[in-house]
Structures are given as structure tokens and as C-alpha cells.
Amino acid sequence: MENFSGKTVIVTGASSGIGKAAAKLFTEAGANVLAISRSNGRLNALAEECKGFKGRLETLSADVTNEEDRRKSIETAVGKFGGIDVLVQAAGIIANGTIENTTDKQWNDMMDINLNSVFRLMQLALPSLTGRKGNIVNVSSVTGTRAFPGVLAYCVSKAAVDQLTRCSALELAPKGVRVNAVNPGVVVTNLHKNGGMTEEAYAKFLEHSKETHPLGRAGRPEEVADLILFLASEKAEWITGVTYSVDGGRAQTCFR
């Protein structure tokens, strides 16, 4: 495992799924981690799980779609730890909807959390990241690179995150700031159930994922977190502007 001792890492969406796995992994690696989520209860549980780890984990209940909370998140990290070395943006939502029936509210909600919050937190964190020559890892999706029916707004939001990652990587390279993204396939988290999928439907969805992913299964949050940690580490210091698939081969397949 890479050594992140003395480094400060912000992780959004840190109370569950990929965000939680990343927050734990960075803390294990010695980082000072600010774990951000709207769920106080799950954040408290995460803090308990990280007791005894090499690093230090602090929690902050905040809504990344709220500008005041976004500013508070950056200010808290700088105030507690002196600056920011890594920004990991794992907060996100999904919902069903087609070009015919997606409502304005569904569209706006999806863009607000999956895209707008990513853009604004990047902007707000940049003064500290630039000073420390830090880096950003955005959590995108296989839907950012491939089209899927029935989740229109989600696909569009993640495709936009990919392009935001690439464009900002070019612009920030002269300042020594790297920007990358990970593009997971289906990962076993609460994302789909939070988006309205029933337990029964989700079980069928995971079973079907054995067929849609060439490696024969859905992924685990820890497998994505491992890639996030690598991209944030010094071993990846010559990598920027990458949207990196970690999807059991899903992006290589045709629709089925």
C-alpha cells in the first residue's frame, strides 16, 4: 500500500459504497481524511471502523449540492489539516428515465449532484491543491463511455464528468495538478437501491451482471478504491487526464 502519511484527502460520498471504501483505504495508508456525506449516522459508523488505523479520519455532514456546504468542506479540510493534497469525488445518484419521460426535476437533480458539485468542489479546492501540487480523482461510470437505455440523465452526467476531467487535466497540468477519473461497471453498493430499485429487482440486476460483465460478476467497492488510491499516489505522478475503466470488461461489450 502507498504511504499517504502527512497527506490530506477529501472524500465525498464517504458514508457508503466506493466513497466509504476509499475513505477507509486512505486512512489505512496514513492520510488525514475528511469524510463527507449527508448521513451523520453512517459517518459516525465509518469513524468507528477507522479507529486504530494509521491515519486520522474526521467527518463532516454536508450536502455537496449546497454552495455553503461546499465552501465549508474545503475550509474544514484546510483548517483541520493545513491544506488539501487529494480530492476524491464519489458522491452521486442514479435514477431511471428515458428521453421521453425524464422530468426537469430528475434531470436537474442528477446534474446537480453528479456534475455541478464535482465542478464547484474542484474550483474551490484548487488554491490548496495547486500550492501542494495535489490531484483529483473523480468517480465516473461505464455509462460515461458507453450508452445505456433507461438511465439517460445519469449517462449524460457521467459523460460530462469524463470531459470535465480531461479538459481540467490539460488546463491544470502546467500547475502540477493532476486530474483523473475512474469508470466503474456495476459495483455492489446502495446506489441503485437508493435510486428506487427494490431488493428483488436489485438481486436480479446483480445476477444479470454475471452475463453483462465478461469477468462474470459485479465489482466490489474496494476494487475501485484500490485504483483511486493508485491514481492519487506518487506512483501515478505521470498520469493525468485519464478516464480509467474498472468494470470487469463491461465497456468492451455491446448492449445485451
Which residues are known catalytic residues? 154
Q: What is the 3-state secondary structure (H, E, C) of the chain?
A: CCCCCCCEEEEECCCCHHHHHHHHHHHHCCCEEEEEECCHHHHHHHHHHCCCCCCEEEEEECCCCCHHHHHHHHHHHHHHHCCCCEEEECCCCCCCECCCCCCHHHHHHHHHHHHHHHHHHHHHHHHHHHHHCCEEEEECCHHHCCCCCCEHHHHHHHHHHHHHHHHHHHHHHHHCCEEEEEEECCECCCHHHHCCCCHHHHHHHHHHHHHHCCCCCCECHHHHHHHHHHHHCHHHCCCCCCEEEECCCHHHCCCC
CA distance 209 to 143: 14
CB 224 within 8 A of CB 21: yes
CA-based nearest residue to 11, from 1, 24, 2, 30: 24
